[in-house]
Amino acid sequence: MINARVYVTIKQSVLDPQGNAVQNSLHSMGFKEVEKVRVGKFLEIKLDTVDRQEAEKRVRDMCEQLLANTVIEDYRFELEGL
């Protein structure tokens, strides 16, 4: 079994209104030191395979086809196990 941790974030060149809303809320709560917030997604995926190279390819395909909108988002992933 291989575990994948996938991180999807909005590209730096793309505006992040959700991040701005979180930053503004933090400021209003007294956390004035917060300079910038970017909001993203974190996914944990368990793969029933022992082939690390195949797992890497499959997770990359998942990210490209569904998990990330590669026009406006970047992704990276880590594999654990075997």
What's the pLDDT score for residue 82?
66
Q: What pLDDT score was predicted for residue 6?
A: 98
CB of 50 within 8 A of CB of 82?
Answer: yes
| Each residue's pLDDT tens digit, 18-69 | 999 999 999 999 999 999 999 999 999 999 999 999 999 999 999 999 999 9
- 40: domain CATH number is 3.30.1280.10
Number of domains in the chain: 1
- Which residue has 């909108």 as its token pair? 69
The range of the structural domain enclosing residue 38 comes to 2-80
d(CA 9, CA 68): 8
Q: Is the pTM of this model over 0.85?
A: yes
User: What amino acid occupies position 10?
Assistant: I
Token pair of 79 as six digits: 């594999």
CA 6/CA 24 separation, integer angstroms? 27
Question: Which strands, in side-by-side order, build the sheet including 2-10?
Answer: 40-47, 2-10, 73-80
Report the pLDDT value the prediction gives residue 58, as an integer from 0 to 100.
98
**Maximum distance among all Cα pairs of the chain, rounded to whole angstroms:** 49
